[in-house]
Amino acid sequence: MPQYCAANFCSNRRTVDVRTRGITFHKFPKDKDMRKKWEASLQRERFTASNSSVLCSEHFKREDFDRTGQIVRLRDGAIPSIFSFPADLQRPEKSRMTVTSIKVEPCLSVASQDTTETCTSQPQPQPNDDHGYALPASLTAVTAKLKEALARVESLEREKKNAMAREKRAKTTVQSLLGDLSDKKLINKKLRERLELYSDLQLDFLENQGHEYSKEHREFALTLHLHSPKAYKYLRDTGKLPLPHPHTLQRWLE
């Protein structure tokens, strides 16, 4: 079942279509303090993240990501900060005290000291200075919309960069990888010929580990690991091909 982003008012879920838009998904931190900070940033009442809870990349700033490797990762200490909350959740209403209310307080104080005395001073009408600084509701809404639009622009820029990176990785073919393994003498001629049967595999699909591997992808991974564990480890360690962990292969064989 596809995983949904845990953020309120976010409909992104981990699917192939969403992935092609450059959106990635990230699990909540295992560190308790960091996990609480993530949970608090969502502003979801009584929400507690599970081990499978995820947030999509649209709720993080560009500088929160490390894109130097093949796989997009969050930097240590990154906290989600981009959300589209309704206006009544974005800014708590401040208590407003007028000049009139300030003048009434001394009267109440005197009355509490001596109940026989009465407060005779009458407050004069005073302008409510607070009105001069309060933003109109319409302006507040426009500001919220502007922030939302800017966040969307940043998201589109990330999508563009991710799309260009995917296009570059898509050019990596089975043939080129096998050539690299042969040059490093990690596979012999016989194994190379056998693996060339999978020349039409879409290697970029293997990056999406949240989905099931096809029969052909499984066969390719199992064959390579069975006949040359060193070659398999080389591709995983260098990040040239995000192959599944050997433990996953073992489960496939059970």
Residue spans per domain, the chain = 16-83+137-169, 95-133, 172-253
Residue 66, beta-bridge partner list? 73
Entry pTM = 0.36
Pairing of strands 73-74, 65-66: antiparallel
pLDDT under 50: residue ranges of the chain? 88-89, 91-122, 127-133, 208-210
For residue 221, the one-letter residue type is: A
Count of other CB atoms within 10 angstroms of residue 58: 24
Burial per residue of 203-229, b for 16 or more beta-carbon CB atoms within 10 angstroms, e otherwise:
bbebebeeeebeeebbbbbebbbeebe
- R_g of the chain computed on alpha carbons: 30
Q: How far apart are CA 250 and CA 41, in angstroms?
A: 39
Q: Looking at residue 238, what is its pLDDT?
A: 81
Find the angle CA(183)-CA(188)-CA(190) to the nearest 5 degrees: 135
d(CA 170, CA 205): 9
CB contact at 8 A, 216 and 201: yes
Nearest alpha carbon to residue 26 among 48, 58, 1: 58
What's the length of the chain? 254
- pLDDT the model gives residue 60: 93
pLDDT of residue 56: 93
Q: Where are the alpha helices (DSSP H) in the chain?
A: 16-20, 32-42, 87-90, 99-113, 130-133, 137-170, 174-183, 189-195, 215-227, 229-238, 246-253
What are the backbone angles phi and psi of residue 32, rounded to the nearest 5°?
A: -60, -45
pLDDT of residue 200: 67
Nearest to 98 by CA among 67, 72, 133: 133
pLDDT score of 165: 66
Tell me the CA distances in angstroms from 5 to 23, 59, 83, 207, 252, one per residue in order: 11, 10, 12, 19, 29
Residue for token digits 């708590």? 92
- The conformation of residue 124, written as its DSSP 8-state character, comes to P
Measure the CA–CA gap between 219 and 174, rounded to whole angstroms: 14
Task: For tokens 């894109």, name the residue.
Answer: 67
Q: Each residue of 164-193: pLDDT tens digit? A: 766 555 556 777 888 889 898 999 988 888
